[in-house]
Amino acid sequence: MHLRGCEDCSCYVRHVVNHSRNGGINLIQKLQHEHWRSELDLKQVYERAYDMGYDRAQDKYEAQMEELQNKNDTLRAWIEELEWENARLTEQLQSASKETKRARLLLSQLSP
């Protein structure tokens, strides 16, 4: 309640008085006490904050995992492309004329 009072506070007081005429004030006090105790319970506040932080960290972790998976897929595709290009060039080199000095040198390095 505000010290000077306001229209909202006055309406609230009238509401409480009207609904507590038959001994309901104790019930209202008990409900208010339980409500504010749960609102101000530091353990509950801490647990909510912890859960929110955990959820945010989990979301961040999952986003990083997805990013790494995408990068991994890209690198695997690049490796496959390079292996295919290497096989093509090796075949081309082996079928090339063996008369040039460079071709003979490269072929000798490729053969075990």
Tokens representing residue 49 in the block: 């904050």
Q: Can you give the length of the chain in residues?
A: 112
Instruction: Give 19-57 pLDDT, tens digit per residue.
Output: 777 766 777 778 888 888 877 787 788 888 899 999 999
The enclosing H or E element of 58 equals helix 42-95
The answer to pTM > 0.75 is: no
Predicted pLDDT at 90: 86
> How far is 105 from 8, CA to CA, in rounded Å?
96
pLDDT-derived band at 99, boundaries 50, 70, 90: low
Predicted pLDDT at 20: 73
What is the 8-class DSSP label of residue 99? T
Domains of the chain by residue range = 81-111
3-state class of 1 per DSSP? coil
Predicted pLDDT at 111: 65
